[in-house]
Amino acid sequence: MPEGGYEVLQDELGTHAGKVDALAGRLKTAVAAARQVTMDNSAYGVICQPFAMLLDPFEQWGVKALEKAEESVEGTAGKVRDAVKAYSGRDEDASKDLKKAGGDLSA
């Protein structure tokens, strides 16, 4: 490898994308769980219902935060996979160009 250059390990990037996907799956499970456990305000009776209602916005913020995290992580996994495809395409193009240049030199 020339000094100052770098090498992209496409298999490693693919593996990383899979791990990020797994994290997105865990976040999806967390979102589903958060939606299931949000309090039913009527469960506390007439006297305590106002206190439960006070917590509702915080529950919704928590669910929305988890949803945004899930979207972000899923998007990141997609971007990593796109990077793998881009690097692979560039490698193939460079290989073709080098073979073509080598063929021209041998003539």
The model's pTM: 0.71
Is 67 part of any domain?
A: yes
Q: What percent of the chain has pLDDT over 70?
A: 91
Residue 73 lies in a domain: yes
Residue 106 placed within a domain = no
Is 104 contained in some domain?
A: no
How many domains in the chain? 1
The whole-angstrom separation of Cα 62 and Cα 27 is: 12
Does a structural domain hold residue 107? no
Among 10-14, 39-43, 47-51, 89-93, name the one with the lowest average pLDDT.
Answer: 39-43
The 8 Å CB, 24+ separation contacts for 82-90 are 83/13, 84/10, 84/13, 84/14, 84/17, 87/8, 87/10, 87/13, 88/10
pLDDT tens track for 25-34: 999 999 999 9
Residue-range definition of the domain harbouring residue 41? 10-99
Please name the residues in contact with 41: beta carbons below 8 A apart, sequence gap of 6 or more.
Answer: 49, 52, 53, 56
